[in-house]
Amino acid sequence: AQTVTQSQPEMSVQEAETVTLSCTYDTSESDYYLFWYKQPPSRQMILVIRQEAYKQQNATENRFSVNFQKAAKSFSLKISDSQLGDAAMYFCAYLVNYGGSQGNLIFGKGTKLSVKP
Amino acid sequence: DTAVSQTPKYLVTQMGNDKSIKCEQNLGHDTMYWYKQDSKKFLKIMFSYNNKELIINETVPNRFSPKSPDKAHLNLHINSLELGDSAVYFCASSRNSGTGRDEQFFGPGTRLTVL
């Protein structure tokens, strides 16, 4: 069974600085999708970025980028030029594939990010 | 327009009661899900439906019964509520392109408090 581990329960960053959130996962699949979701205090789940395992290029979305290390099964999220609005819980997630049928997400336990002005 | 909506957003009830949470999506998606987020913020899949057919049914007490009247709706009915059912329940939906790789869109969540 697949697992997702986020080893940092809390992180803190100064406004305008860069922070990296860690995520490791375990799977026997060779092709899969990974995601980072943001959950602000409003509790809405917001997709931040996705990575396809067969793509060697790291995904980037504006100030958000990932460092995807397939062999190490590592998928970290880098937030550059941190803003106060980035303060939230961040969840790493693995999308289970049921042989082409739409599968569910397996989430890590989350990292609470605080941004200091 | 709200893509995935849930009602109610907050639900406070007594132990032993029966309650329902409704979910609707206007994205034309084929697959819908229920996730539970516990007090420690841990999110876990409960059920998923594809075109009104149950696909995933994780180890969930049979007091929880999902109902999908059509592919745009997936409701969650909970019988004999217990204190441990207190959580935030998220509905989500996705296309089903046949790749198993489609993005899931989440509703705003329903915070259930059982007293």
Chain A neighbors of B106, CB-CB under 8 A: 44-45
* pLDDT for the residue numbered A1: 81
- Name the minimum distance, in Å, from the CA of B48 to any CA of chain A: 8
- What percentage of chain A has pLDDT greater than the value 70? 97
Residue range A37-87, pLDDT digits in tens: 999 999 999 999 999 988 889 999 999 999 999 999 999 999 999 999 999
Q: Is the predicted pLDDT of residue A31 greater than 80, yes or no?
A: yes
Q: Which among A78, A84, A73 has a CA at the least distance from the CA of A111?
A: A78
Q: Is the predicted pLDDT of residue B60 greater than 70, yes or no?
A: yes
* pLDDT for the residue numbered B51: 81
Residue A39 tokens read as 């959950």
Residue A47 tokens read as 């997709």
- Helix, strand or coil for residue B100? coil
CB atoms within 10 A of CB B80: 11
Q: Which among A32, A33, A26, A58 has a CA at the least distance from the CA of A47?
A: A33
Which residues 27-86 of B have a C-beta within 8 angstroms of A? Answer: 30-31, 33, 35, 40-45, 48, 50, 55-56
Band of residue B81 on the pLDDT scale cut at 50, 70, 90: very high
CB atoms within 10 A of CB A1: 7
* pLDDT for the residue numbered B103: 87
- Name the minimum distance, in Å, from the CA of A2 to any CA of chain B: 13
Is A8 an interface residue toward B (CB < 8 Å)? no
Residue range A16-27, pLDDT digits in tens: 999 999 999 999
Contact A100 B99 (CB under 8 A): yes
B52: left (phi over 0), alpha (psi -120 to 50) or beta: left
Residue A16 tokens read as 């305008």
Contact A107 B94 (CB under 8 A): no
Q: Which among A109, A76, A71, A110 has a CA at the least distance from the CA of A90?
A: A110
Q: Is the predicted pLDDT of residue A100 greater than 70, yes or no?
A: no
Amino acid letter, residue B24: E
Which residues, other chains included, contact B62 with Cβ-Cβ below 8 Å and sequence gap of 6+? none
The C-alpha atoms of residue A35 and residue A29 are separated, in whole angstroms, by 16
CB A34, CB A5: distance < 8 Å: no
Residue B55 tokens read as 């696909």
Which residues 63-102 of A have a C-beta within 8 angstroms of B? Answer: 89, 91, 95, 97-102
Contact B100 A50 (CB under 8 A): no
Residue range B4-59, pLDDT digits in tens: 999 999 999 999 999 999 999 999 998 999 999 999 999 999 988 888 888 877 87
- Cα–Cα distances (Å) from A24 to A69, A93, B69, B87, B104, in that order, read 9, 10, 38, 26, 21
- Name the minimum distance, in Å, from the CA of B24 to any CA of chain A: 16
The C-alpha atoms of residue A35 and residue B92 are separated, in whole angstroms, by 15
